[in-house]
Amino acid sequence: MDYQFKEIEQKWQKHWAQNQTFKAEQDSSKPKFYVLDMFPYPSGAGLHVGHPLGYIASDVFSRYKRLKGFNVLHPMGYDSFGLPAEQYAIQTGQHPALTTETNINTYRKQLDQIGFSFDWNREVRTSDPAYYKWTQWVFMQLFNSWYNLETDRAEDITSLIEKFNAAGSADVKAVCDEEVASFLPSDWAVMSAEQKQEELLKYRLTYLRESTVNWCPALGTVLANDEVKDGYSERGGHPVEQKKMMQWSMRISAYAERLLQGLNTIDWPEPVKEMQRNWIGKSVGASVRFKIEGADAAVLGTDYIEVFTTRVDTIFGVSYLVLAPEHELVAALTTPGQEVAINNYITQTKKKSELDRMADTKTVSGAFTGSYVINPVNGECVQLWIADYVLAGYGTGAVMGVPSGDQRDWLFARHFDLPVVQILDAQKDIELQADATKEGKYLNSGFINGLRYAEATQTLNTWLEERGAGKAKINYRMRDAIFGRQRYWGEPIPVYFKDGLPYLIKEEELPLLLPEIDKYLPTETGEPPLGRAEDWSYEDQYDYELSTMPGWAGSSWYWYRYMDANNGTAFASKEAIQYWKDVDLYIGGAEHATGHLLYSRFWNKFLKDLGYVQEEEPFKKLINQGMIQGRSNFVYRVVDADGKGTNTLVSYGLRKEYKTSALHVDVNIVENEILNIEKFKLFRPEFEQAEFILENGKYICGVEVEKMSKSKFNVVNPDILIENYGADTLRMYEMFLGPIEQSKPWNTNGIEGVFKFLRKFWRLFHNEAWVFHVEDGVPSKAELKALHKIIKKVQDDIERFSFNTSVSSFMIAVNELTELKCKNRQVLEDLVVVLSSYAPHICEELWSLLGHKAGSLSFVSYPEFKPEYMVEDEFSYPISVNGKTRLNLSLSLALEPSAIEQAVLSNEDVQKYLEGKTPKKVIVVKGRIVNLVI
RNA sequence: GCCCGGAUGGCGAAAUUGGUAAACGUUGCGGUCUCAGAAGCCGUUGGAGUACAAUCCUUGAGAGUUCGAGUCUCUCUUCGGGCACCA
């Protein structure tokens, strides 16, 4: 029988499912290997050819690791809470759970067709109450924890209470809110329960606080920083504004340093690490206090302004100080004479959107408050300004202006005619621009004159600290993550309110189920959708929290659930976590760099602090698969003088001769840019009578690379390819396309080549009459060489994630063996094993035809590479003369190293070049002559 | 502006530590088989050159190191990604 891929693939997919071939068990006799894909959000559109790319790569890797004797965990699930299902619910009234269920079924059907070796017993869905029970549980642990800087880890809140009982707040070194009360144990003892709760909330790792948030009116919810791009929501692209709201937050800032340091221990793509480093944004510097001239602490609440700087060494060059317009002291420090100017400036700033403010970096603007501050190092009195180039949200919202060392400060000083003071002898041309050098020695700088950068910084930090005027400080750009969303389709937060304070429900009351509501919109009073739920209160009297958790909550720990997916008493058993530990290989898109991948590391570190998990980092090795873009085709419709489309279409090469407009055309009716006109008429009936202006008898279409989307008619559906060529061809072709990490447009053109290869491979095992035919016996040298070349190559390629080169090598190997008319059982059997990771269905079929037990192929040993089979009697010996002319000599293998040199020099061709002379220089690399210089 | 990553035939690409650039696939062209098509098989497909060959040139541009550079160093061009009044 010819290669009947449809029957073969259905047969083996059924076999794997029925026999649960890929069910993973804890088995300590084998080393474990955990291969994870980023689980998908099941969208209604189903899979296009780009989606499975990463899944195929991880499946090839998983199957390969099984052959190598590893106990492989390779699960799959769905990140099934999210906005699209909810938006759909708003439009249609259909419950998001139903939409989600339908979409998941579509996904599963499509995934199954590709022949993945997932262990579906471990499937998870983040919207399943049995799953989100544990997401809520993690939330509770966070609420019950604080970050102790002394032990540098999260601890149970009871250890904080003990500290308060014993010594008040004095001993406590914690990551907490800025305004925490300082109190004695006796103060603590007399506090009411409510006061205590209020105080503790400032320390909890998840907390409720009034904070400035990104509010998206169109979506009716707040968004985390990573969900906002350039002032617009990442999902939907709606405008986002700043707003003050009571919000749940996660104290991820407590882990800033550990998240940063951990990056050095994991094998991730450098760009992703770099993005996380940027996001965390560590800057080492100092905070310095500038006394306010003539300030009364009793009236103002303070008598100094604190600034953060990374260049404390430039402090003698300070010629002014700037506050952010939103700084809380601005109003109090504005003198009556400046009030109008300052208020105008603030109004002006407010009008500018966040976007404008970021985009407009050239205009210098600001206003003088009328107040002065005193430079602590030299007692100099400098002006206090406000300007919108200073951001309220970073550092202290106040900056010292050093025009000679910072270009922005320089521009500001020039614009408002403030002094520019040189502070380093190495600074050049400071009349023209700032010079941020750290070279040279200080001048005009009081007690650091003559010192160099490192020394000066040290001296200043000590000097300032001794006088209580400042100290060395590390600042992080990363803010705490906003955790609440005013949406329906997410995990309910397991909290109720009593006297305005939040309390956790009891652990045994989990999961707190998402209540049913009539409409998926905010209430008339502006409360989140959960406000519509009737009879939904805690102990029939207390209100539940109405926000739900953000999309990243469920995905921040899911890899642990796979370890023990059906556990009802813990998120995963201790034994399972101990055995599977962490993810060895994680494959997914780079778009999650500062979202999912950062939050996951955060929760993982937290769970480790509490002793629930083993490893500090969850994902040892990360691969970012590239995006597959669409490749759109166009036809060109001739446009008449009025700009109206006519009924004439012109081929790509001739379109310049007419006025045309381009129309998308379905890529599935175009082959090698040649339009199938008959199919086109069916696709666009309005052009049934159209005239086609052809070139060389063909209609050529235009091409452009765009995002794959239905509206652009450039979506290639894997189902159709599987129908025409089979899953094995699709799998191999996707791997063949190019390096896994590279983004590229999809082009179905080359798929024939892979299909031909699989047919050739099938033919190797059959005679002319398509009867299965292999021969026992001893393989020839040439056969063994071809086989062992591919054994080695595939092994090396997979280990370095170079899947595309493996596919090429398979083609070469099969061509060689076809040439050799190889029918040898031993050779062909090994070949089946080697190929089975890429094309599992056809290999299973051949494996069983070879007389092996069905399904055993996935767990046999990968053939051992034997270098001795690679050796030939003669070897080809390239040599260059004068680094230019190349000679290819053929030498006997039997030669000793010393004899090789003799053989080379006495070779006829070499002699021709030498013309009787001895070479001036003989260059030997790894014991071989590679070049002769004459 | 700053930080990463790229640039190799018509196209996708290969070249793992510096050692015969373009493997493998595709497209195009020619042939074979066939009533015909599909499928298969064979040849050819970077450029110059020639009757055939020999030979020379070619990895975005320019320089450098080296016997030898797609690979290493510097400068530039350009494309992609990230960050961006971050003090």
CA dihedral (A888, A894, A899, A902) positive or negative: negative
Query: Which nucleotide shows the minimum CA-to-C1' distance to residue A739?
Result: B13
Measure, in angstroms, how far nucleotide B69 C1' is from residue A932 CA.
18
Q: How far is CA A488 from the centre of its chain?
A: 26
- Answer whether A708's CB lies under 8 Å from A628's CB: yes
Q: Which two tokens stand for residue A373?
A: 């501050």
Measure, in angstroms, how far nucleotide B6 C1' is from residue A712 CA.
27
Q: Which two tokens stand for residue A502?
A: 């939040």
What is the 3 state secondary structure string of A267-290?
Answer: ECCHHHHHHHHHHHCEEEEEEEEE
The DSSP 8-state label assigned to residue A403 in this structure reads: T
Measure, in angstroms, how far nucleotide B48 C1' is from residue A630 CA.
38
Query: Which nucleotide shows the minimum CA-to-C1' distance to residue A881?
Result: B67
The string of DSSP letters for A3-59 reads: --HHHHHHHHHHHHHHHTTT-----TTS-EEEEEEPPPP--TT---TTTHHHHHHHH
- Answer whether A693's CB lies under 8 Å from A654's CB: yes
Measure, in angstroms, how far nucleotide B50 C1' is from residue A806 CA.
40
Q: At what angle do helices A718-725 and A727-736 cross, to 10 degrees?
A: 120
Q: How far is CA A459 from the centre of its chain?
A: 42
Reference A172, options A472, A635, A162; nearest CA is: A162
Going by pLDDT thresholds of 50, 70 and 90, the confidence category of residue A138 is very high
Provide, for chain A, the percentages of residues in helix, strand and coil under a 3-state DSSP scheme, each rounded to the nearest 5: 40, 20, 40
Measure, in angstroms, how far nucleotide B52 C1' is from residue A751 CA.
38
pLDDT digits (tens, 9 = 90+) for A698-718: 888 888 888 888 888 888 889
pLDDT, residue A73, reads 97
Measure, in angstroms, how far nucleotide B24 C1' is from residue A275 CA.
36
- Single-letter amino acid, residue A560: Y
Measure, in angstroms, how far nucleotide B69 C1' is from residue A266 CA.
33
Burial pattern A86-96, b for ≥16 Cβ within 10 A else e, equals bbbbeeeeebb
Q: Which residues pair with A503 in a beta bridge?
A: A496
Query: Which nucleotide shows the minimum CA-to-C1' distance to residue A757?
Result: B25
State the Cα angle at A851 between A847 and A854, rounded to 5°: 55
Query: Which nucleotide shows the minimum CA-to-C1' distance to residue A356?
Result: B85
The DSSP 8-state label assigned to residue A500 in this structure reads: T
Query: Which nucleotide shows the minimum CA-to-C1' distance to residue A388?
Result: B85
pLDDT, residue A799, reads 92
Measure, in angstroms, how far nucleotide B61 C1' is from residue A771 CA.
59
Measure, in angstroms, how far nucleotide B58 C1' is from residue A582 CA.
49
Reference A601, options A624, A579, A583; nearest CA is: A583
The string of DSSP letters for A354-368 reads: HHHHHH--S----EE
Q: Which two tokens stand for residue A505?
A: 């429900």
Nucleotide B24, nearest residue via CA and C1'? A808
Going by pLDDT thresholds of 50, 70 and 90, the confidence category of residue A46 is confident
- Answer whether A179's CB lies under 8 Å from A211's CB: no
Measure, in angstroms, how far nucleotide B44 C1' is from residue A427 CA.
67
Query: Which nucleotide shows the minimum CA-to-C1' distance to residue A804?
Result: B13
Mean pLDDT of A183-199: 93
- Answer whether A214's CB lies under 8 Å from A482's CB: yes
Nucleotide B3, nearest residue via CA and C1'? A274
d(CA A104, CA A96): 12
Measure, in angstroms, how far nucleotide B32 C1' is from residue A778 CA.
35
Measure, in angstroms, how far nucleotide B76 C1' is from residue A689 CA.
55
d(CA A698, CA A685): 20
Mean pLDDT of A860-874: 84
- Residue A661 has a CB neighbour count (10 Å cut-off) of 14
Nucleotide B18, nearest residue via CA and C1'? A925
Measure, in angstroms, how far nucleotide B20 C1' is from residue A67 CA.
37
Nucleotide B13, nearest residue via CA and C1'? A738
Q: CB burial class (10 A; 0-12, 13-18, 19+) of residue A293?
A: middle
Measure, in angstroms, how far nucleotide B45 C1' is from residue A487 CA.
60
CA count, 13 A, side-chain hemisphere, A49:
29
Q: What separation in angstroms does the CA of A67 have from each of A587, A824, A861, A888?
A: 20, 22, 5, 40
Q: Which residues pair with A470 in a beta bridge?
A: A288
Query: Which nucleotide shows the minimum CA-to-C1' distance to residue A932?
Result: B67
Q: How far is CA A533 from the centre of its chain?
A: 36
Going by pLDDT thresholds of 50, 70 and 90, the confidence category of residue A933 is low
Residue A670 has pLDDT above 60, yes or no: yes
Measure, in angstroms, how far nucleotide B22 C1' is from residue A808 CA.
14
Residue A357 has pLDDT above 70, yes or no: no
Least confident of A269-273, A547-551, A885-889: A885-889
State the alpha helices, DSSP H only, in A480-567: 552-555, 558-561
DSSP three-state, residue A455: helix
Q: Which residue has the higher pLDDT, A226 or A670?
A: A670
pTM for this one? 0.91
Nucleotide B15, nearest residue via CA and C1'? A805
d(CA A44, CA A88): 10
CA dihedral (A608, A36, A20, A22) positive or negative: negative
Q: What separation in angstroms does the CA of A928 have from each of A537, A889, A933?
A: 83, 12, 15
- Answer whether A628's CB lies under 8 Å from A50's CB: yes
d(CA A273, CA A260): 9
DSSP three-state, residue A471: strand
Mean pLDDT of A399-417: 89
Query: Which nucleotide shows the minimum CA-to-C1' distance to residue A475?
Result: B86
- Answer whether A12's CB lies under 8 Å from A844's CB: yes
Nucleotide B12, nearest residue via CA and C1'? A737
What is the 3 state secondary structure string of A342-356?
Answer: HHHHHHHHHHCCHHH
For tokens 């790792």, what's the residue?
A: A205
- Answer whether A725's CB lies under 8 Å from A755's CB: yes
Find all residues with CB under 8 Å of A882, minimum gap 6, and list them.
A931, A932, A933, A934
Query: Which nucleotide shows the minimum CA-to-C1' distance to residue A800?
Result: B16
Reference A484, options A211, A228, A292; nearest CA is: A211
The DSSP 8-state label assigned to residue A869 in this structure reads: G
Range with top average pLDDT, A41-45, A118-122, A268-272, A719-723: A118-122
Residue A197 has pLDDT above 90, yes or no: yes
d(CA A509, CA A629): 47
Measure, in angstroms, how far nucleotide B38 C1' is from residue A43 CA.
39
pLDDT, residue A430, reads 81
Reference A703, options A695, A713, A693, A694; nearest CA is: A713
pLDDT digits (tens, 9 = 90+) for A439-498: 889 999 999 999 998 899 999 999 999 999 999 988 898 888 889 888 899 999 999 999
Query: Which nucleotide shows the minimum CA-to-C1' distance to residue A818?
Result: B41
CA dihedral (A359, A364, A367, A368) positive or negative: positive
Query: Which nucleotide shows the minimum CA-to-C1' distance to residue A387?
Result: B85
pLDDT, residue A886, reads 60
Q: Which nucleotides of B are covered by protein (CB under 7 A)?
A: 3-5, 11-16, 19-20, 23-28, 39-41, 56, 67-68, 80-87
DSSP three-state, residue A892: strand
- Answer whether A117's CB lies under 8 Å from A16's CB: yes
Residue A884 has pLDDT above 60, yes or no: no
DSSP three-state, residue A867: helix
d(CA A517, CA A533): 5
Query: Which nucleotide shows the minimum CA-to-C1' distance to residue A923?
Result: B67
Q: Which two tokens stand for residue A816?
A: 């060689």
d(CA A760, CA A755): 9
Residue A361 has pLDDT above 70, yes or no: no
Q: What separation in angstroms does the CA of A137 have from each of A143, A158, A313, A423, A557?
A: 10, 18, 48, 56, 11
- Residue A782 has a CB neighbour count (10 Å cut-off) of 15
